[in-house]
Structure 1
Amino acid sequence: MTLLQTQTTETINTCYFLALLLIISLTLFPIKLTNKGLYKLSLIPFRTIISFILKGNIIDILANIIGNTLMFIPLGFFSYIKHPSNKTKSIKICLFTTLFVETTQIFLPARLFDVDDLMLNFLGGYIGIYLAILFIKILNKQNRCYF
């Protein structure tokens, strides 16, 4: 393995770790000590998404709908870059990470499991995988792919 390949691998691993750290920091911390009540599960698909759209508050739409999607794009991207010949593995990483985050939120104060978050997070991860596939194709056309 050349020095360039080693540096590329180390950079990819660092970015992958930072993507996971970003997700954990945005979804599990800070833990608020307020009581949200017993409503800890939202299992009806699209309920939260539709409620945000109907309210029309752009801040809520950006923070929740777009934010939940964007947050997982780096994870999908770097998981595919890390495992470029295994799209299924990257999909599983995105799925299990979002399942872990949402399930963990059941047990935290002021957090809840929301099936819409699960769908949006996975969508973001899948978008990241797709962007990584495009990125690798572009690098391969230019003979600049080092991983």
Structure 2
Amino acid sequence: MFTLYMGALVYVTFFAWNHGASLGPEGPGGRNYNLTPVRSIYRIAVFSPEWVAPVRILIGNIIMFMPLGFFLPLLFRQVRTILRIVLVGFFVSLWIEVMQFLLTYRVADVDDLILNVMGAFSGGVLYFAMRSAKRRVYLFNV
């Protein structure tokens, strides 16, 4: 399951069609990027002519990293704290954004990094909530 998720993550972040994603004029070497926190979130929320696209983009970036935050503590004993989940989520997202910067057909955006880390955090919280609930059910049934 984790392998399928990682394959889907690579596909979505590197190969899926980037429907008109642009942050303005291209930077050096034709690269398109945003290094100002919350800039693209603001632009998407305020200037989008419809409400579906911003919700899909913003919520999608969070949801995309929730499985990572959930699977990490499930599969790797060393990553069973929220801090470690957030750190791994940060570095995985940072790697993706750096690679997207190097690929001129993608957009590197610090806001994606922020939203992805929020997703990893949310997935970790979900993991610990489910683990806690499972323990309570087990103790209740004993």
- TM-score, normalised to structure 2, is 0.79
State whether structure 2 residue 135 is matched by structure 1 residue 143.
no
Q: Which structure 1 residue ranges, 4+ long, deviate > 4 Å from structure 2?
A: none
Deviation of 1:39 after TM superposition, in Å, equals 4.4
Of 122-131 and 21-30, more deviation after overlay is shown by 21-30
Are 2:88 and 1:93 aligned?
A: yes
Q: Percent identity?
A: 26
Q: How does 1:29-108 map to 2 (within 5 A)?
A: 29-30=15-16, 37=26, 38-56=30-48, 57-83=50-76, 86-87=80-81, 88-108=83-103
Deviations 1:20-76 (Å, cap 9, x if unpaired)?
Answer: 2221111111477x9x74342200111100011102422321232111111000111
Paired with 1:108 and 1:39, the residues of 2 have a C-alpha distance of 8
1:109, distance to aligned residue in structure 2 (A): 2.9
Distance in 1 (alpha carbons) for counterparts of 2:51 and 2:8:
23
Instruction: Give the conservation status (yes or no) of the 8 Å contact 2:31–2:104.
Output: no
TM-score in terms of structure 1 length? 0.76
Aligned residues: 128
Aligned CA RMSD, in angstroms, stands at: 2.3
Query: Higher relative CO (CA 8 A, sep ≥ 6), structure 1 or 2?
Result: 1
CA distance in 1, matches of 2:39, 2:11: 25
> Structure 1 stretch 85-94 or stretch 104-113: which is displaced more?
85-94
Q: Is 1:19 aligned to residue 14 of structure 2?
A: no
